[in-house]
A and B are shown apart, each in its own frame.
Chain A
Amino acid sequence: MRGNPIGIRQAAAAAVLSVKIRVDICKRLASEGREFHLQAEFRAENERVVVFGPSGSGKSVTLQCIAGLLRPDAGRIEIGERVLFDSEAGINLSPQARNVGFVFQEYALFPHLSVERNIGFALQHAFHGRLDALARERVSAFLAAFELEGLARNLPRELSGGQRQRVALARALIRRPDLLLLDEPLAALDPMLREHVRRELLDVQSRFQVPMIIITHDPADAEALAENLVVFDRGRVTQILDLKDDAALLSGISQRERVGRALAELFPAA
């Protein structure tokens, strides 16, 4: 990180930002004769919540409900003091009003916009899409922070997987979201790169101080990233682990080991 670019908070040594997340939703999805019933309930109070489970277990649907891209049939979603959705009270904030960042699995970068314009999307004028001077300065700070300076004018298709992911992260973070949702952020990357990107995610979090919910089906991701582990199976939350409580810290077992053990218990076959 260079200098003190506008809006990028310096890594605070002690102040750990954590936000209470409460999700209790149900959603019925039907497609081509198959019906899927999601009943997800979990609370988390840590910086990084890893939602873990096999594909098709409802992780992604839950994330889209939190972001407001899907509407749950019933339930309640709360982040800190803000209620994003409450079917009983008739509250359903639009995705625009939720201030929740979303990094999609394949990144969903706008293919017709340059890296610079992708990152600046949230700051651009609503209609003609131009950036004012202040926004331009902020975009260049983000380009620098994510090591994308040389690629400002390139289109997403000209980037490597890792670069695309950094663009997606920068694009979501430039809006200063209250919460960042990442849907399988490592699945589209080559295995060689994953270890590096895991460290990068931790680094991004300490720089931007943003709580994250990360979806994965890779135990290695869960081991490296989880503070809270929420395990999904066939549309239900089967287990919630807090890996940051005092007992764990006192017992001297590393987080990685604890997650490894917990996962081994849950999925003995794997």
Chain B
Amino acid sequence: MIRRGQHPRGQRIVACQKKDPMIGQALVPLLLTLKVAGLATLLTMVLGVALAYGLARYAFWGREFLDAVCTLPLVMPPTVLGYYLIVLVGRRGWIGEWLYQKLGISLIFTWQGAVLASAVVAFPLVFKSARAAFEGVDRQLEGAARTLGASEPGVFFRVTLPLAWRGIFAGTMLAFARGMGEFGATLMVAGNIPGRTQTLSLAVYDAVEAGRDDLANFLVLVASSVCVAILLGSGRLLRPRY
């Protein structure tokens, strides 16, 4: 059984040994998963859209290299990514040491760590579609807005973003779905602590390992329904308008 991290009280709590009804056992990881995936998506959306806009609109040295680095999480094994994150934000990591000493924050084995892992894994999905969407916006429309007196933020929020929105939104939905299913990097960074960092996909793994097929079935059903609902919902919103 995969176990990283300990419950704060020291004892290992294995979900399948509890006598709770199945719904309760599914609800905790489901809510945690939605929280983690939601926050991770928000984070990737803001950063991904900003970076994609920069790369789509400004030519600078090393632009395509930066693009490649940002796309890397799409092709790298999640465990490798998780390892990189531990190296970076672990207590003795480059950023992690500073965070811990200055602010007393440690991301390892926390749900915030899971958000970070999901965000990194899902980032290329938002970034790539946002860049393509921005590059698809006719520059002449931005020029037209400028000659009509719109300020630079006005051009972005009234012309560029609304026209690129469909592509960005599609990427964001994929990122959310990817975040929901995140397993490898989350396990490395946040561990698999029931009730604290055990997301749906980790709970499914545990249930199968423990031979609890009924719980596994139920969890799988919940995860699948949520994903189908997201895709259907985004499909409705993405219907072409112009």
Contact = CB atoms under 8 A, between A and B. Distances in A.
Interface in B103-151: 138, 140-141, 143-151
A69 B150 contact: no
Contacts of A102: 143-144, 147
Given A126-B154, A127-B153, A110 B159 contact: yes
A157 B242 contact: yes
A20 to B, nearest CB: 21
Interface in A133-192: 155-157, 171-172, 175
Interface in A168-224: 171-172, 175
A115 to B, nearest CB: 13
A161 B150 CA distance: 25
Contacts of B154: 126-127
A171 B148 contact: yes
A67 B159 contact: no
Contacts of B157: 127
Given A110-B159, A129-B158, A96 B146 contact: yes
B114 to A, nearest CB: 35
Contacts of B150: 96, 121-122, 126
Interface string A88-126: 000000111011111010101011100000000110101
B239 to A, nearest CB: 14
B242 A121 contact: no
Interface residues of B, number: 21
Contact of A95 (B146, B163, B241): B146
A156 B163 CA distance: 14
A172 B147 contact: yes
Counting chain B CB atoms within 10 Å of each CB, which of A96, A101, A156, A157 scores highest? A96
Contact of A110 (B141, B147, B241): B141
A: contact size bracket: 20 to 34
Given A111-B163, A157-B242, A95 B147 contact: yes
A58 interface: no
Interface in A35-52: none
Given A96-B146, A112-B162, A126 B151 contact: yes
Contacts of B144: 102, 104, 108, 110
Contact of A112 (B148, B149, B153, B242): B242
A68 interface: yes
Contacts, number: 69
A70 B27 CA distance: 57
Contact of B143 (A69, A101, A156): A69
A25 B144 CA distance: 22
Interface string A67-88: 1110000000000000000000
Contacts of A110: 141, 144-145, 159
A157 B149 CA distance: 24
A258 B124 CA distance: 62
Contacts of A64: 143
Contacts of A100: 147
A99 B242 CA distance: 30
A121 B147 contact: no
A121 B148 contact: yes
B146 A121 contact: no
A104 B147 CA distance: 11
Contacts of A156: 242
Contacts of A94: 146
A94 B143 CA distance: 11
Contacts of A127: 153-154, 157-158
Interface string B141-185: 101111111110110011100110000000000000000000000
Contacts of A104: 140, 143-144
B237 to A, nearest CB: 15
A69 B141 contact: no
Contacts of B138: 108
A122 B146 contact: no
B57 to A, nearest CB: 14
Contacts of B145: 110, 121
5 contacts: A96-B147, A104-B140, A108-B138, A110-B159, A126-B153
Given A121-B145, A121-B148, 5 more contacts: A96-B150, A98-B147, A110-B159, A121-B150, A155-B242
Pick the 3 closest A-B CB pairs, nearest first.
A95-B146, A122-B148, A108-B144
